[in-house]
A and B are shown apart, each in its own frame.
Chain A
Amino acid sequence: MPDYTDVTIPANICPLNFRVYEVGKEVAVRISAGNLQYTYGNGMKVLIDEEEWQGLLQAAKGDKMTIEVFVNENGNWKAFEPFYYYVAEDTIDEYISYRLIQPLYVAYGNMSIAQRHLTNYDESLIYDNTLINTPEQGQCINCHSYQNYRTDNMMFHMREGFPGTMIVDEGQVKKVDLKTEQTISAGVYPAWHPTQDLIAFSTNLTGQSFHTKDIAKVEVQDKESDLILYDVKSNEIFTIANDSNELETFPTWSADGQTLYYCSAHFDYENDLTKDGEIIERYKDLHYNIYARDFNLQTHEFGDKRLVYDAAAENKSATLPRVSPDGKYLAFALGSFGCFHVWHADADIYLLDLQTLELINPEGLNSDHSDSYPSFSSNGRWIMTASRRDDNNYTRPYIAYFDKSGKCHKAFELPQRDPEFYTLFTRSFNRPEFMIEPVKTTPEQFAVEAMKDAVKATFKK
């Protein structure tokens, strides 16, 4: 554990330490690549030297390294079938960020947004809610987002205590209030425009209820949702879509910024007086399709919506779309119903070839449990997903190589120094995002700004 057998890894990843779960007292592992050969073992753990690992990676680049496992069982050494780490020529973005959060329901306690250096094990805080939490009022933080993998323009939300959206605009932090009288909520799911100072947001009235038997346990639903566009410089909000019979959400931009993709479910309330009850009752009727609207970079006007993927026709629901940097593929999470696939075990990542409209199941990336929140690395060669394959409850980042031919290789779990880390760690890795540089704003800078009053955004028709 983790299962690293025959995975394809980047040429700049940190060592893939693992633990062997076999009957025995100790393990010895021989790793070889080219002329290099090293042996490791620490009880049942395999802890690889970081310098030696760099040599192994270089020797195996574009090829593979061989891992031979031997277990000492009562004095007899038992050999296992060797397996391989295939080392791709392509490197991966050096940083990812995620929110660390208990797989919770209603209550929340400590949560943080952290960034991780992928070439080693260094993790640092971007922000932690305990910095300004009070016992009377907790603070929820969520939905970190960056402009085009860079961190000088980034954002995340704060809710409950000291509410507002923290926006880093060319390195300067500010806090804004995106709730207006004309919108149903403040901004929720964000998407920075890749080149302009614009953020598309969904606005959502969200609720949750609990399954009595289904081990999905929780259902999160939007009673209403729309799309808005926020101009970072002018602090103005514009409507993108607000059809009362449509639940529009999860906006995302194409790499050239000329198309906005989003999800929308058509839902006709049969009885307006019991909206809450009805949407809970009919939770399996919610099927999200993927739509697109052209965006004029000069006028900031949107074209008419067009259907990109009709999930409802297949009795499915598509969420969390992301476009590959080369604009060829649209990745999204597909499940049977609803919008919160992190709790849906049947949810998998699918790729839509935007030229042929062929739907591709990247099997190497998916599992029997929930796989959601796909994202592409900046070179488009790596796809990361938030997967619950380890235990069906805790979300972990899994990364798969997506080669030039469009094949997705077997994914590997984000490596940790201690192979037992994921077993003992009781928080989920939520919303994993690639970055090509670390966030430079310190947690303390965010905290200072967070305690100030948010500047109210203005709604423009």
Chain B
Amino acid sequence: MKKAIYTLLFPLAAYLLLIIQADYLHAVAENDLFVSGQAFFAETIQTTGGIWTWLGCYLTQFFHYPWLGALLIVLIWTGTYFLLVDAFKLKGHLRLFAWIPVFTLLVSIVDIGYWLYYMKMPGYWFSQSLSFFAATLLTWLIARLVRLKAETNFSWIIFIIAYFAMCQRFPDFTHRNYSNHLLQLPFVIAPLSVVLLPVWKYIFSHIKADKLITSSAWRDGIINLAFLLIISSAAYLCSFRDANFHSEIRMQAAIENCDWEEVLTEAKAAKSPTNLMVVFKNIALMNTDRLPEMLKTNNSGCLPENGDSLVVRIAQIAGPLVYYHFGQINYAYRWAMENNVLFRPQVRNIKMLVRCAIMNQEFDLAAKYLTILSHTSFNTSWIREHEPMLRFADELHKSEEYRCIAPLMNEDFNALDSDNGLPEQWILSHYADLVHTQNPKQDHLAICAALWIKDEYAFCYQFYNYQKNNPGKAVPELYQQAAIMLGTREDSPINVQDFPFDQLIMARYERFNNDYAALNQSGASHQDIGERMRDFYGDTYWWYYYFSEFKAY
């Protein structure tokens, strides 16, 4: 009984470790693709280890329900453990060593971080475990068939042959000039730890440590627990736990569901958001008509965690989604296509291609992509939601996405341009420079884009444009702050006297200037001044203008 409990401890710990990252697991399913049918099979099978890729893609779909996908992979690992124990006739504490390859397979799933977007190996999350399981199964079968004696310890040779017979591709974590060989380590350690099993056996049998230790029940328990605790903790420590990485995933999912409040909740919780999180937050504000409040939460993004030796770009993590929600359908389509080609086919990109085709009224194309999605396993409700939009304009017009995006698609000219791989920079410059805004949503976006990238000239133009298009309407506080600050400059086209600015805002700006001057005189550094003024003025354009840095990636 005790043995059974100890045996279940690690699978349970692994399951918990996976399930606490449910957001990531769901993203894994969305960032992979399995299409039932001969064409996908034939194309996948052509590559080295194609059968594992194909099976891996199939099973990766189950992460759509993280609990289910996690359960499946833990079952595979547990099976691997039992096969190893039996094939190598491991007894007592030696059994613990059979968890090491399983531990490395677990690590290989939870440690990849942003490589989720950049890896070129479809079905990676299951394929490695599957081929490892198959190699172990083959070893076990042969060991049983030829009735190898435990003393001979030839199972490791069989395993090596079986492992290579699986023809699995060695995972590669390379993107352009960046690569991370550390992430390949699990795939070296896993087979090595199996090959070393006879060595441990030999050592244990000679020093008789096993017998010594198992003689005491409480020691037995402590050793089991300690071992499992160590490898579970190690797996946790090896996992990619960057809060922003997970927050970005949750925000993406919320945006795809048009759940704007969820996006804003995530944004509020972020201590030091990435640029992408700031973009997501402002998309949510824009779609709830609160874009002028963009500085009330942190609008200064930072670069993503680069602990995994990868220069992350918004274009590749969420370029299609960002472009789509800024009404740039062609560019969203382009990046969905580029990312599908450059890395691997992904459900989320196919969904984006459907969305773009619908918005562009390319209904034959949308039907094609929907048919592809209909050959996947868990997207029936998504298809049911979008398919009617191809046939009935009303269905499209009443959708939340259309309500949000249509006003931004209403530009009156086509430009031939290129974003140089920087969607955020391109979108903000594009809207800041928009000459003819067509509706209030564009008015606000144009003026906020100018403020966001600190383009003073564009702001002045858009400020007058806003006044012209919205006569008699109250000017949001953010715009007043910027106009007051820029209007007080000598060469400014904004004459502060011409506008009925709020006196409280003007007085606050005066205080800001005084406080700044005082701190400056005290000899504080620019950065120090910024930090000390953040509590009082962090929500103002003045603080944003002087103390934050906009750097697109």
Contact = CB atoms under 8 A, between A and B. Distances in A.
Interface string B334-372: 100111111001000000000000001010110110011
A66 B345 CA distance: 41
Nearest to B362: A392
A105 B334 contact: yes
A280 B414 CA distance: 12
Given A107-B338, A420-B37, A213 B372 contact: no
A219 B342 CA distance: 20
B176 A393 contact: no
Nearest to A207: B418
Given A130-B47, A135-B174, A392-B362, A423 B120 contact: no
A211 interface: yes
B40 A424 contact: yes
A219 B416 contact: yes
A213 B334 contact: no
Contact of B37 (A135, A213, A283, A424): A424
Interface in A28-43: none
B40 A105 contact: no
A344 to B, nearest CB: 13
A394 B365 CA distance: 9
A297 interface: no
A102 B343 CA distance: 13
B269 interface: no
B328 interface: yes
B393 interface: no
A423 B339 CA distance: 20
A136 B37 CA distance: 32
A425 B40 CA distance: 8
A455 to B, nearest CB: 29
A424 B372 contact: yes
Contact of A423 (B342, B371, B413, B416): B371
The list of the 10 closest CB pairs from A to B, nearest first, reads A213-B414, A135-B174, A107-B342, A391-B365, A391-B364, A107-B338, A109-B341, A212-B415, A102-B341, A214-B414
A393 B368 CA distance: 11
Interface string A279-301: 01101000000000000000000
Contacts, number: 104
Nearest to B330: A217
A418 interface: yes
Contact of A106 (B47, B328, B338, B365): B338
A375 B40 CA distance: 30
A211 B331 CA distance: 8
Contacts of B367: 391
A77 interface: no
A137 B35 CA distance: 28
A210 interface: yes
A421 B364 contact: no
Given A103-B337, A217-B333, A426-B340, 11 more contacts: A109-B342, A135-B179, A210-B418, A211-B416, A212-B411, A213-B330, A215-B330, A218-B334, A418-B37, A424-B37, A424-B40
A179 B345 CA distance: 35
B151 interface: no
Nearest to B328: A212
A357 interface: no
B38 A213 contact: no
Contacts of A283: 416
A26 B375 CA distance: 19
Contact of B337 (A104, A213, A421): A104
Given A109-B341, A392-B362, A213 B418 contact: no
8 contacts: A104-B338, A109-B341, A212-B417, A213-B414, A218-B334, A391-B368, A392-B365, A426-B340
B172 interface: yes
A392 B341 CA distance: 19
Contact of A210 (B179, B340, B360, B416): B416
Size category, B interface: 35 or more
Interface in A303-344: none
B174 A136 contact: yes
A418 B375 CA distance: 15
Contacts of B413: 213
Nearest to A390: B364
A269 interface: no
Contact of B341 (A104, A130, A212, A217): A104
A52 B54 CA distance: 35
A392 B40 CA distance: 22
Interface in A197-256: 208-215, 217-219
B177 interface: yes
A215 to B, nearest CB: 5
Contacts of A214: 330, 414
B39 interface: yes
A130 B53 CA distance: 16
Contacts of B334: 105, 210, 217-218
Most B Cβ at <10 Å: residue of A215, A280, A283:
A215
A390 B363 CA distance: 11
A283 B414 CA distance: 12
A350 B47 CA distance: 41
A390 B369 CA distance: 13
Interface string B48-71: 000000000000000000000000
Interface in B168-194: 172, 174-177, 179
Interface in B200-248: none
Contact of A102 (B38, B39, B337): B337
A281 B416 CA distance: 7
A215 B331 contact: no
A101 B93 CA distance: 55
B414 A211 contact: yes
